[in-house]
Amino acid sequence: MRGMSARAFALAAAGAILVTACSTTGTPSGGGTGADQGKPFVFASTQFSPVTEQENMRKKILAAYQGASVDFVTDQSAVILNRISAEAKAGGEQQIGLVGIENGEFAQLVAAGAFEDVTKVADKHKDQKIPQDMLTLGKFGGSAQVYIPWMQATYFMVASKQALQYLPTGADVNALTYQQTIAWAKNIFDKTGQKKFGFPLATDGLIHRLIQGYFYPSYTGGLITTYRSADAATMWNDLKELWKYSNPQSTTYSKLQEPLQSGEIWLGIDHVARLIDVLKAKPDDFVAVPAPAGAKGRYYMSVVIGLGIPKASPNKAGAEALIDHLLKPETQILTLRENSFFPVVDVKMPSDLNKGLQLEADAVAKQANSKDAKVVPLPVGLGSKGGEFNKAITDTFVRIALKNEAVQTVLDEQAAIIQKIMTDGNIKCWGPDGTSTGACQVK
């Protein structure tokens, strides 16, 4: 009898799990009115892959959307991009009506002519003041608008308030230089004996982005072209110095929010989404400030996610209506509240924003509005070579800082690896390196 009831319970539980699982896999949103709003379509994105973020997207961000039925689908970058290009190749009318992917991911699909020109949609939203350089980024050097900016993210610095007393004299925490940051970390070490700077150096940490979008351009004004320059050598010697005052367990840090929260580190630069938990948990214990500046400026990396309409979209009017919904100020703020991506349109921040989000929002604004601020996009055009490119960059850090190899030798060797990637893939220069006709060249 007991055995029977236990089995019945297990069956019921399994059934319940199954039902719940099914109900969370892409319940279509919108289309509630029953009026003729065109064919249902898929909104495919490489963003919001964590389950909670998917749920927020389906149940909250898309809740107020009244157009045709939409199925939000997200997966790893390669999966989504393959599906988009497969539908583009097949032509005619396919399933994906709208895509929401990162600028560099668009770049991989632009050559195939997979997207409609959305200049008209951009014109319609002129009053919302989407930054002009973001719109230009979305044209990929042509005249057609490939995507409409949707939301953005970036990286900035977080410091524990305990560290502020060790700030070097004359340094403004909101306008630090790399020299001052190193002096700060050194000062903490001298006074407390502890190494309190942190690098996101675990295998899934984003150290390569810091090197690509922050250190290199700020010191050398470039990335590929200046990879083995004298300025680069100066930069690496500085990083080597900073590493001396960095927590030696940094190699296990994938997101800096965890060591910041536990107090293992006091300072560090990381992606907004990898800092939000600590800022939400302890907003009174930390300050969020712009990333430091180097000799060539305060470069920061902007991650722009855009919305594009595939030529094979089954419902182009529906896709435009969804873009309108996603760009509404209230939807943009909802996206920030729920999934921590920042608005691209001009919005007035609500006063009841979560304290941690407010810290992030302020830091993002301060960073973008710094006098010497210069923006860098994520690497463009690398496609499947992106992984090896990131590895070449990270290996440079590991060899110089961790393994203590000679700076110039490492730079020459790693530059050769990077040059091969550029040449093999015929990848043109981007961002701080300017433009090139052929493959980008290390000088």
Partner 1 sequence: MRTRTERFLPFALLLPTIAFLTLLIVIPMVQALLLSVMAESDGLSLDNFQRMFADVNFSDAWRNTLLLLILIVPLQIVLALVMALLINSRFRGHGIFLYIYAIPLAISDLAAGILWLAVFTERGYLNSTLQNAGVIDQPVLWLSFDNFAGILSAIVIAESWRATALVLVILIAGLQLIPRDFFEAADLFGANRLRRTVHVVLPLLRPSLQSALIIRTIFAFQTFAVVFALAGRNMPVLAGEAYTWYATNRNEHVAAAYAVVVLGLTVVAIIVYLRVLGLREAEVQR
The position carrying tokens 């200049």 is 119
Candidates 7-15, 54-62, 180-188, 379-387: pick the segment binding partner 1 (CB under 8 A): 379-387
Distance of CA 89 to the CA centre of its chain: 28
Nearer to partner 1, 53 or 264 (CB): 264
Query: Closest approach of Cβ 213 to partner 1, in Å?
Result: 18
Whether the Cβ atoms of residue 269 and residue 156 lie closer than 8 Å to each other = yes
**162 touching partner 1, by CB under 8 A:** no
Query: Closest approach of Cβ 424 to partner 1, in Å?
Result: 8
Q: Which of 145, 367, 390, 419 binds partner 1 (CB under 8 A)?
A: 390
Cα 53 from Cα 42, distance rounded (Å): 17
Q: Which of 395, 423, 436, 439 binds partner 1 (CB under 8 A)?
A: 395
Q: Which of 27, 251, 354, 436 binds partner 1 (CB under 8 A)?
A: 251
Reference 325, options 23, 27, 25, 31; nearest CA is 31
Phi and psi at 65, nearest 5°, equal: -75, 130
User: Which of helix, strand or coil describes residue 196?
Assistant: coil
The position carrying tokens 């920061």 is 300
Query: Closest approach of Cβ 54 to partner 1, in Å?
Result: 21
The amino acid at 413: E
- 136-to-130, 133, 327, 368 alpha-carbon distances in Å: 11, 5, 18, 17
- As given in the structure block, the two tokens for residue 415 are 């530059």
Phi and psi at 225, nearest 5°, equal: -60, -30
Q: Which of 253, 299, 341, 342 binds partner 1 (CB under 8 A)?
A: 253
Site for partner 1 in 114-143 (CB under 8 A): none
- Interface mask (CB under 8 A) for partner 1, residues 255-294, using x and -? ----x--xxx------------------------------
Nearer to partner 1, 208 or 296 (CB): 208
Angle at 314 between CA 310 and CA 317, to 5 degrees: 85
Q: Which of 254, 354, 358, 370 binds partner 1 (CB under 8 A)?
A: 254
Euclidean distance between the first and final Cα of the chain, in Å? Answer: 80
Q: Give percent helix, percent strand, percent coil of the chain, each to the nearest 5.
A: 50, 15, 35
Candidates 54-62, 210-218, 241-249, 323-331: pick the segment binding partner 1 (CB under 8 A): 241-249
**338 touching partner 1, by CB under 8 A:** no
Candidates 95-103, 147-155, 197-205, 270-278: pick the segment binding partner 1 (CB under 8 A): 197-205
Candidates 18-26, 113-121, 220-228, 381-389: pick the segment binding partner 1 (CB under 8 A): 381-389
**174 touching partner 1, by CB under 8 A:** no
**160 touching partner 1, by CB under 8 A:** no
Query: Closest approach of Cβ 416 to partner 1, in Å?
Result: 11
- Residues in contact with 34: Cβ distance below 8 Å, sequence separation at least 6, in sequence order: none
Query: Closest approach of Cβ 140 to partner 1, in Å?
Result: 22
| Count of residues in the chain | 443
**177 touching partner 1, by CB under 8 A:** no
Evaluate the CA torsion angle 225, 269, 383, 310 in order and state its sign. negative
**402 touching partner 1, by CB under 8 A:** yes
Cα 83 from Cα 6, distance rounded (Å): 44
Query: Closest approach of Cβ 388 to partner 1, in Å?
Result: 5
Cα 339 from Cα 254, distance rounded (Å): 19
Q: Which of 294, 306, 377, 386 binds partner 1 (CB under 8 A)?
A: 386
Candidates 166-174, 227-235, 360-368, 385-393: pick the segment binding partner 1 (CB under 8 A): 385-393
Count of residues near partner 1 by CB under 8 A: 30
User: Which of helix, strand or coil describes residue 58?
Assistant: helix
Site for partner 1 in 34-93 (CB under 8 A): 78
Alpha helices in 193-253 (DSSP H): 207-210, 216-220, 230-244
Residues that bind partner 1 (CB under 8 A): 78, 201-205, 247-254, 259, 262-264, 384-388, 390-391, 394-395, 398-399, 402
